[in-house]
Amino acid sequence: MAAKKDSANAALIEGGTQSGVVTAGVKEFTLPSGTQVSMRRGNGHDIIRASRIVDMQKDGPMSLILAMASVKCTFNGHPLTYEDLLELDDEDCWALIGQTQSGKGQSPPITLHS
In angstroms, what CA-CA distances link 36 with 55, 75, 108? 28, 6, 27
Query: Which whole number is the average pLDDT over 43-68?
Result: 92
pLDDT class of 114 with cuts at 50, 70, 90: low
Instruction: State yes or no: pLDDT of 24 exceeds 70.
Output: yes
Give CA angle at 82 (78, 85), nearest 5°: 70
**Band (62; pLDDT cuts 50, 70, 90):** confident
pLDDT of residue 10: 36
In Å, how far are 24, 52, 53, 101 from 64, measured between CA atoms? 24, 9, 8, 12
Domain boundaries, the chain: 2-101
pLDDT in tens, 2-16: 444 333 333 333 344
Per-chain mean pLDDT for the chain = 78
- DSSP notation for 18-54: E-S--BTTEEEEE-TTS-EEEEE---HHHHHHHHHH-
pLDDT at 113: 54
